Structures are given as structure tokens and as C-alpha cells.
A and B are shown apart, each in its own frame.
Chain A
Amino acid sequence: MLDISSHDIVLVGGGGAGLRAAIAISEANPKLSVAVVSKVYPMRSHTVAAEGGAAGVHLEDDSLDDHAYDTISGGDWLCDQDAVEAFVKEAPQELMRLEHWGCPWSREPDGRVAVRPFGGMKKTRTWFAADKTGFHMLHTLFQTSLKYDAVVRYDEFYATRLLVDDGRAQGVVALELTTGKVQAITAKAVILCTGGCGKIFRFTTNASIKTGDGMALAYRAGAPLKDMEFVQYHPTGLPFTGILITEAARAEGGYLLNKDGYRYLQDYNLGTPEPKPVLRTMELGPRDRLSQAFVKEQEKGRTVEGPYGAVVNLDLRHLGEKTINTKLPFVRELCLKYENIDPITQLIPVRPVVHYMMGGVHTDINGATPLAGLYAAGETACVSINGANRLGSNSLSELLVFGARAGRAAADYASGQKAPGRALLAQALDEEARLQTQFLRKTGGRESIAELREEMQKIMEQCAGIYRTHESLAGASGKLQELQERFKDIRMDDRGHLFNTELISALELSCMLEVAETMAESALRRTESRGAHQRTDYPARDDKNFLAHSLAYRDAEGRPRVEYAPVTITRWPPAERVYGK
């Protein structure tokens, strides 16, 4: 059954970027009707799990150029520098705006917002709310969004397709979970804020909802996915669960130790160990380097063998009870709950874990994609300010800055557009029929959704992990195509309309399979090593051929076709990344 509703702008995703965009639209033009379509209630969105903080220049001794340089060098010069300059300029304003909206930022004794050091940052500039920064930001944004009457929420609606007519994105088709009804939500502009796709990998900090839905929606509608080969491994996840132990634990002074209790990072060009944390040095190096060092350390046999693979130890004991309880209470809570370990007296076992996608839907500096009327912001998007490796605490600021920018740009664009046309109705009916024939009314089927998902996760982890080779990536590509074939024969246990989570799992899996293919293909084509993309067969950075963004387009057969676009360099010519000096 098809329902139709119409708005000026439809947002897919109700996390940090989506809510910031929704508020920005209402601020820009309160008359515009905004639909927020989210597959979970907005406060369940994965922004909630971000811990460490949000970067923005705050102290006297810091400067916008310093923040820009850290970000660009951290991204191994694959960042678009005009975007980075806009980002560092607007980040402090956005963070202050959140302060005005009530975000419980941690404070200095005199009442000023406090900042903490963070990995890869030369200055102290990370705003934080203890170690639940994302949680507080999301709830502040969500609660603040409630006061804007023009924001209409479609909670627990899963967007299955973009409506595109006349070369413009004009809405989405979404499935209402509670009723199983298909809803055509038309609009003059669409903003995708669905976050990342960590669930493509088995071992990830990402929540179960992080399945690349927005990336797949854009990709299927013809918009390219940019820099998909760059997958961030966070160096400190708890084994088995993959629960994140925030970088703030190291920023507050935690050590990473190998099995001999040795601060092994000193062997990997990250500087010399000091008792107190030194910025851009050792444990405060960038995440790509730290995760790579773990693999090398493991190869040398100097990691600890745990029941869930090799680990190293994160040592917070010397920080003392008071610092841990005030600055890192969530770290302690998580360790006690899930590992039965008290970081005040014990070492925390950690290993690298898939955490963030530097890549995403290709957008310009205002969140606009090459498809007219389609915008993207947050982890879904690739602007790119993160280049080949994102610095910790840049993503929370990014979702504010570019959520707001995309919201304003979409508001501006929507004001000049006519109401969506009738042709969309046929597309929506098509989509409804597809959901029926492919899933709900489909007979037979032998493949289990869970099994296909596990196989995909295994393939990606083995073939597209921290270190990659031509063989591994070519193999992954082939195997992912096989999985695509097998997906056509999936088995459905639940054929009902009402709250069918199995149908959602199937749709999510199809998104992940497509997005995974773009990762493998982009990684295969990039025959160099840069940031988080490390090819053992091409260990050097190759600026001559690859100082460029990869753009994966979906071809007629549904396979990714990779093209390249230049990187914007303004004031910081490519140089060597140096840490520990």
C-alpha cells in the first residue's frame, strides 16, 4: 500500500549531521517543511557512541592554520584544502552554538569550555563532554530540534530508494516499519546523513545500523562514491565486542604496551616515549600509523595472544582514580561491564578495529553531490576533509559544520525549485512492487541472510584490512560478486508486513554488498600506499599518479567503475608526514 506525503526537503538519517541540517534549514527559512526519515528513533543514531571529543580551535596559542595543517598532514594530503579551511574556520562557531543549545561540555574551574589533546593534533583543541561527547551532542541536537515545528519526523522509516526525475533528486521511497506501508516522500531536495558502513566488516566499533544505506542510495541513483578504499581502523577496541576505548584514554596519558610491557610505538617512527603525553607523538600519533604499528608488532610476535586474537595492552593505571573517574568514566564503565577489568588497577586488552569511513558520497564544499538536488553530510559524505586518514575528534565537528552547510545549501536550492512532478508516483509504485516480488512474496530461497553477511564480513576483513595486496583485493572483488549472485536466492522466514526486521536486514545487506564492492575496486585500482590504504605490493605514496580522489560510479551491470578527480591544494603542498618530532 502506498502513501504519499510532500515536503520541501527530505533528510535521510536523524543522527548528528541530519539533525544539524534540519535545524539549519529551519533557521535559514522557517517556512520550509523538513522531513527527517530515520530507520531508528533519532536519539538511537550512532553519533551517540562517539566518545572522545570534537575538534575546534579554542585556545590563545592555537590557530586555524595549525588545525588545517594537522588535518591535511593527518589525511596524507588527500584532503581538499579549501574544504579543510572552511571546516577549521566554522568548527569553533558550531561547537559554540552547541554550547548555547545546552551541550554539557566539560569545563575549566573558571567556567570556560575545557579542551583536551587528541591524536595527530599539534595543539590542544578537542572539546569534550567527559568521554560521552557524541552522546551529549546527539541528545542536545535532538532535544533542540524538538522546538522547530517545521521539522516532521518519520521515525522508524527505512528509505529504500531515491526518487529521481528530470535529473534531479526529488524525494525518497521509505518503508514504515510499524505498518510495512511504503511511503513516497517527495521533496525539492534530499540530504543523505545516514552515517558510515562499518558493519561491512566483522570486527567493528560500529552499531548494527551502520550499513551504508545512504551511500548505496546515492550510488544506485548515479552519484559517485569517493575515496572508498580508505577505511579507518581505530587502534584501541576491546576484543570480541569491538567496543571502542576512546583515544581520549591516550590523550589523558595512557600507554600502549606490547607483551613485554614496552611502549612499542617508539619503534615505528612515532617519537620517543615521555612519561607525559606529547602532542603528535607516540600514543598521540594518528590512527592509521598506530593500527599499522600493531600489525607489525604482531608479525614480530610481540603482541599478547588472547582468546579473540592478538591484543596489546592499554595502560591507564598511572593516571590515577580521580582522572579516570572524571575524564574517562565511560571507559571504566565499559571495561568493568564487558571485560570485568578495572582500568585503575589493570591493563586493558585492545586491538585495531574498523571504526570510520573516510570515503563516502562525493560532495562539494556545500554538501552538494553531482546529482542535482541531492546533498550529503557526515560520515555518509566525502567532502573531503579527512583525506586518506581522519584525525580523531574531527568527525564530530565535521558533522556539525557540513550538516549545517548542506542544510543551508539545500534550503537555498529548494526555494528555487518547483513542486515535484507526477512521474515520481510511478517510480514509487515500481519500488513497492520490487519489495514485494524480491522479498515478501518470493517463494523458495536457500541462502541465509546472516550467512551471506558473515561471509562478506570475513572477505572484507581478510582482503581489505589494514594491509592489502593486489591478490587479496582482486579475490575480494570476485567473491563479493558471487555473494551478489547468491543474494538473489535468499530465504525469508518473515513475510509479514508489520515490523519486519528481517526484510530490513536483507535490504541492508544488499546495500553493504554494493558498497563493499566499491571499496574493493577502489582499493584495487589505487596502486600506492597512503594513509589508511596500505598496499604491501606498493608501499610508497605516489603523488604523481594518485594525488587524486577515486570516484566509483555504478555501471550498467551494477559494477563499480573507478575514475579520478584532482585534489584541491591551496596553501599546503604535499610533503612527508612527520610525527614524533
Chain B
Amino acid sequence: MANRITIEVTRYDPAQDEKPRFDSFEVPLRKEWVVLDALNYIKDHLDGSLTFRWSCRMGVCGSCGMTVNGVPKLTCATFLSDYAPGPVRVEPMKNFPVLKDLVVDTSDFLVKLEKSKPWIIRKVEKPLDEEYFQTPEQLEAYKQYSMCINCMLCYAACPVYGLDPLFIGPAAIALAQRYNMDSRDEGASERMDILSQHDGIWGCTFVGECTQVCPKHVDPAGAIQQYKLTATMEWVKALVLPRGSE
């Protein structure tokens, strides 16, 4: 293994640049280094102005999503040596406005997340000394969707979101589905009103890339398709039983 590798990094200073450009840096190539370690090496030793987000370095906080050689990745879970001999190209996540270098503006997601009501909705709440029983099977029904770390890789991979920023997007729908499938929740119909709109689930054309790039195996594509099935069944039910359904 060569002991150095070239990294090409997107640079964009909103105060000066009209559009992004690339800078090249040579960094040590170490077996245990992830792409994020290389970026930190650059910031600490070569250019302190290189700008990116990171925090936990163990793939759970969801801060360090970027595009590595064209593919959306968590840079703390992507090994540099997998790209030897290089060069490695690190760009900001696609489909989001770029704020500076590798930092993108993901605030849009938080608006959409809130819209999809990701909390337990109940008509009547149990008192605090009682628990809602939930069997391991019932837990299993939504557990996968609860693993979303909001890293935004699925939005970066979704061409629908790229073309139509109004699309509510994979993670927000998966998290809505996480609560719909939770045996403690009674808010599915409230969420359906929001998610069955044009920019909701029906915006999805099932590219499936969101599921492919998800570092936590959440499978948002599956969530959306299942939701489509539920929405259709509800629609049919309403058609057949105009007054009978609740």
C-alpha cells in the first residue's frame, strides 16, 4: 500500500466564490483511517479553513454525510484505503444548497420531519404508572424505521428530491411510518392526511437508491411503498364504504 493518497475536496467560500471548485491535498494513507480522518488531517495540518461537519466518528450522530467518489457516504464509516491508490474525490451531499466547502443546508428536512408528526399520538393517554405492553414482535414491526439517524444520505441519493425539493423525502416518510407501525400510536390517519398529498408518498417513483445508501438499513423505499399500499387500501375502503369507515 502506498503511504500517501490524494484527496480532491470541494471548496466553496460563499463570501468570494460564485461556484464551487476543487482543492487537492496529499494525506497519509493509513489502514485504520476513514475519509473523515483525512479531512481532519487537512484541517489540522494543511488548511484550517476547510469546512465540514462531524461529531461522533462512530456512525451514529449522522453529521458527516458527504459524496465520496460520486456516492453518498458517512465519511466516518468509509475507509480511505478502499479508495487506494486514489485520488479520492470528496464533495458535499448532492441535492442540498451548499453553505461552505462540504457543509450543506439540511434545515428543509427538519421542517418536513415536523410536518409528518413523528411523535406518539393518542386519544387518551395512560397514567404514568402504567406501561403500554409491546411484545417483541410488535417492537420488530417498526424497529427498523426507528434506526434512522437523519444523516440525509437518502435525500442526497434521491433524484426525485433533487428535481422537486417539495418532495417530503425518504427519511421523513420512514419516520412517519415508524410511528404508524408502533402499537402505542393512534395517529396514522392524521399523518395520512399529510403524507398522501402530491408531495408526499406519491412523489416517490421508487428509484430505490435511498435504501441502497442508507448506512443503518432503514429501507425508506420499502416504507414508502408499504405506505402507498396502505393509502390505496384506505382509498378503496372509503370508496366502498363511504360512511362505514371511520
Contacts and interface: CB of A to CB of B under 8 A. Distances in A.
Contacts of B179: 102
Interface in B118-159: 118-120, 125-126, 128-129, 131-136, 138-139, 142-143, 146-150
B204 to A, nearest CB: 22
A337 B73 CA distance: 14
Contacts of A337: 59, 77
B62 A43 contact: yes
B104 to A, nearest CB: 11
A496 B148 CA distance: 34
Interface string B39-56: 000011101110111111
B128 A41 contact: no
Given A96-B129, A493-B47, A498 B100 contact: yes
A106 B139 contact: yes
A334 interface: yes
Interface in A103-128: 104, 106-113
Contacts of A110: 133, 135
Contacts of B13: 496, 498
A481 interface: no
B132 A450 contact: no
Contacts of A107: 134-136, 139
A573 B142 CA distance: 47
B99 A499 contact: yes
Given A49-B56, A207-B61, A492 B48 contact: yes
Given A135-B149, A498-B99, A498-B100, A207 B57 contact: yes
A497 B100 CA distance: 11
Contacts of B138: 111
A113 B103 CA distance: 40
Interface stretch (A59-67, A143-151, A405-413): A143-151
Nearest to A209: B55
A139 interface: yes
Contacts of A499: 51, 99-100, 103
Interface magnitude class on chain B: 35 or more
Contact of A208 (B54, B60, B99): B54
Contact of A102 (B14, B61, B105, B119): B119
B89 interface: no
A97 to B, nearest CB: 6
A24 B99 CA distance: 34
B63 interface: yes
B117 interface: yes
B48 A493 contact: yes
A44 B109 CA distance: 14
A361 to B, nearest CB: 22
Interface string A557-578: 0000000000000000000000
Contacts of A492: 48
Contacts of B143: 104
A99 B119 contact: no
A262 interface: no
Given A96-B128, A104-B139, 19 more contacts: A40-B63, A48-B62, A109-B135, A132-B60, A143-B113, A143-B175, A144-B120, A146-B113, A146-B114, A155-B107, A178-B99, A207-B55, A208-B56, A240-B32, A241-B57, A338-B32, A494-B48, A502-B48, A502-B49
17 contacts: A100-B120, A102-B182, A104-B182, A112-B133, A132-B60, A132-B147, A147-B119, A155-B110, A207-B57, A209-B55, A330-B60, A450-B44, A450-B45, A492-B48, A493-B48, A498-B15, A498-B99
9 smallest CB-CB distances across A and B, nearest first, come from: A111-B133, A493-B48, A450-B44, A494-B49, A499-B100, A143-B118, A102-B120, A207-B55, A207-B56
